[in-house]
Amino acid sequence: MKIAEEFIEQSNAKVFDLPHRATINYNIGKYNMAVERGLSKFENLENSKKKAHAIKWRVMENLDKFLPEFEANFQKKGGKVIWASTIEEAQKEILQIIKSKNGKSVIKAKSMTTEEIHLNEFLEKNEIEALESDLGEYIVQLLGQKPYHIVTPAMHLNKTEIAAIFNEKFNTPLDATPEQLTQKARELLREKYLSADIGITGGNFLIADTGSIALTENEGNARLTTTFPKVHIAIVGIEKIIPSIADLDLFWPLLASHGTGQNLTVYNTILSGPRQANETDGPEEMYVVLLDNGRTDLLAKKEQRQGLYCIRCGACLNACPVYKNVGGHTYNTTYSGPIGSVITPHLRGMEDFKHLSYASSLCGKCTEVCPVKIDIHKMLLLNRVDAVQENLNTKTENFGWKLWRKSMKKRSLMDKIGGKYKNFILKTLFKKLWGKNREMPTIAPKSFSAIWKSRNNKKQDH
């Protein structure tokens, strides 16, 4: 089955899953209340978003300057930079580092780029244990699932379901509270921080002028991951660069307020390389893997490159009526929701993922909530244009549009189709496409032209 067909089948099942809908509506409802409070703290939110957009525009227009600047400054502090063009290159380089240190176990902080390169599965195949330390990521890992949401990996599960998972895996009480489950996870993970050979994180921002990576989190697991293991590897997309450490004053509050409604997340960390001679903790070696994986292909598209401005706050997912109904796993991508629909066709291939650009109501809510003012719904339309220009539409679709175009350009054909044949066409050709759970619209038996003539003739008779 093709990826697009899977999407339709899974969407059809998920939208009528009422318990799922109740869980998502409840969780996103709580998010909306928190974010409303968080955004109210900005003196001029619109101005902040415009400034963030301008900075990211400058970065993308000068990526060839900012990335080498980051690399040079990071290496001055003893860090090592690895450039990875593809998923396979990134996997190979990471495995090489781990094997060179005789590593057998990895502790991971939450990172969407590691999901993008399928790192857990790759390491498992190479007999290396990789354990997620973020609570939400840990829960979905126990289930053998992928993260449901960019910010909240286990958003699709309620506390009763999570208690059942812990009961099955660790024999905790079925009626355990969220606090008790969190404590159990802490007990299980603390030992892993101390014994892991390698710590792996992503990076929320790469800072060019200091050669640093910035991490933002609420649980402290990223700090533990980057402190105890002797080697720290950060896998970061090349688009995450910002010019200066002073820009964090803008981007950290924007990310926190749009992601969780906080003024700032609990832990915000800036790392500029391995442990220095005058420092008491930190890794002996630190690597940053700069991941391309299709990003430069998107960068080459002048109008669509603003998809790379994304700071992964998840606001567009929570605003999207399609995401709230079909759910995160249905997209079959690392990055789901509106922003995932924009960038995935460029990262993983337009032919397989062009359908995501049509999985949208084009209501524009995603654009409205974006903290860096990405014109997301316009990007979705441009992806559709790309799909047509690359001749990726089906023969049936192309034939339908040719027929429509021909009829729209000829008055007599328009009247025939709009009057005599339109109900027949809808009932026979579009019945399946319309969906078995929706009623076909009732359309006037005559075309507008015929109705107009009929009314005018009656007036003349009188």
Q: How far is CA 246 from the centre of its chain?
A: 26
Share of the chain above pLDDT 70, in %: 98
Let me know the angle formed at the C-alpha of 372 by 366 and 378, rounded to the nearest 5 degrees: 45
**Would you state the CATH architecture of domain 41-293?**
3-Layer(aba) Sandwich (3.40)
Structure token digits, residue 61: 């227009």
Structure confidence at residue 437 (pLDDT): 76
Asked if the model's pLDDT at residue 332 lies above 70, the reply is: yes
Dmax over CA atoms of the chain, in Å, equals 101
Start-end of CATH 3.40.50.10420 domains in the chain: 41-293
Using CA atoms, how far residue 276 sits from 35, 206, 255, in Å, is: 39, 20, 30
Token pair 């800036």 in the structure block, residue: 270
Q: Mean pLDDT over all residues of the chain?
A: 93
Strands 241-242, 267-271: pairing is: unpaired
Asked if the model's pLDDT at residue 461 lies above 70, the reply is: no
> Residue 234 in 3-state DSSP?
strand
Using CA atoms, how far residue 300 sits from 13, 297, 305, in Å, is: 37, 5, 7
DSSP letter (8 states) at residue 411:
H
Q: Are 345 and 380 in contact (CB under 8 A)?
A: no
Q: Among candidates 128, 286, 296, which has minimal Cα distance to 211?
A: 286
Using CA atoms, how far residue 431 sits from 73, 376, 427, 428, in Å, is: 61, 31, 5, 6
Structure confidence at residue 441 (pLDDT): 78
Q: Are 184 and 139 in contact (CB under 8 A)?
A: no
Beta-strand ranges (E) seen in 292-351 are none
pTM for the whole structure: 0.91
Q: Read off the amino acid at residue 93.
A: E
DSSP letter (8 states) at residue 418:
I
Average pLDDT over residues 378-403: 90
Q: Are 138 and 132 in contact (CB under 8 A)?
A: yes
Structure token digits, residue 433: 């496409």
Residue 419 pLDDT class (50, 70, 90 cuts): low
Beta carbons within 8 Å of 44's beta carbon, 6+ residues apart = none
